Homo-oligomer: A and B are copies of this chain.
């Protein structure tokens, strides 16, 4: 694509340089990794997938799943590949998006490492135990991971605590203005299932009636399957995700009412 002629004929000279590769000595040495904040609902708790490190530095510490991006691989592909490798799943069943890039010079003691973080959400079916190594991959409740209590909090490698915090903030705010909550539940789901997602991620209680009215009045958010499912006592209508991704108007988070 760059081979098409440059505009207004000003780029006449030096066409031969075009295919010249960078001289590695010309630019600073750096490694690029991807890390994934994979969130799911497990036992009614919002949980994040962590891997226990085998190697130095931070040996024995808990880290986000991730690794180097291969040379011919898109970053999102790399994130997905690493995730499948470390969970043992064969296809990625949820939503994956880029979160943010972390590049503090001292974040890895060995050399300059730039990490492109991704954020993933999957229904609560993830079983890292089924994957490669049951002893090293685990789902941690985020309230424990970010707890002030050193007894319950895992030791996190690198700047992964910051990355997890940023991921959480992203998820919490995206529940407000997108239909992302549906990525946390398997289809078909009930209104109550969806409410549970909001309540768990936001850490609040929501009025069932108002929640239901809001979801059903926002068209494209969910669509009824026509079926119902027994729910212990009584039956509940079943839904699947609609085609709308942006909620209009947004779902309001109770916290944010009082500023």
Contact check, A31 vs B30: say whether CB atoms are below 8 A apart. Answer: yes
Contact check, A24 vs B30: say whether CB atoms are below 8 A apart. Answer: no
Q: Which residues of A contact B (CB under 8 A)?
A: 1-2, 6-8, 10-11, 14-15, 17-22, 24, 27-32, 55-61, 68-75, 98, 100-101, 103-105, 109-112, 114, 116, 154-155, 157, 248-250, 252, 256, 259
Query: For residue A74, which residues in chain B have a CB less than 8 angstroms away from its CB?
Result: 103-105
Number of copies: 2
The residue on B at minimum CB distance from A106 is B1
Q: Is the interface of A mostly helix, strand, loop or mixed?
A: loop
CB distance from A27 to the nearest CB of B (A): 5
Query: For residue A19, which residues in chain B have a CB less than 8 angstroms away from its CB?
Result: 109-110
Contact check, A56 vs B21: say whether CB atoms are below 8 A apart. Answer: no
Known: A74-B103, A111-B22. A60 touches B29 (CB 8 A): no
Q: How far is the CA of A27 from the CA of B114 in the complex (A)?
A: 13
The residue on B at minimum CB distance from A112 is B71
CB distance from A50 to the nearest CB of B (A): 13
Known: A28-B71, A71-B29, A104-B74. A2 touches B248 (CB 8 A): no
Query: For residue A98, which residues in chain B have a CB less than 8 angstroms away from its CB?
Result: 100-101
Q: How far is the CA of A56 from the CA of B10 in the complex (A)?
A: 12
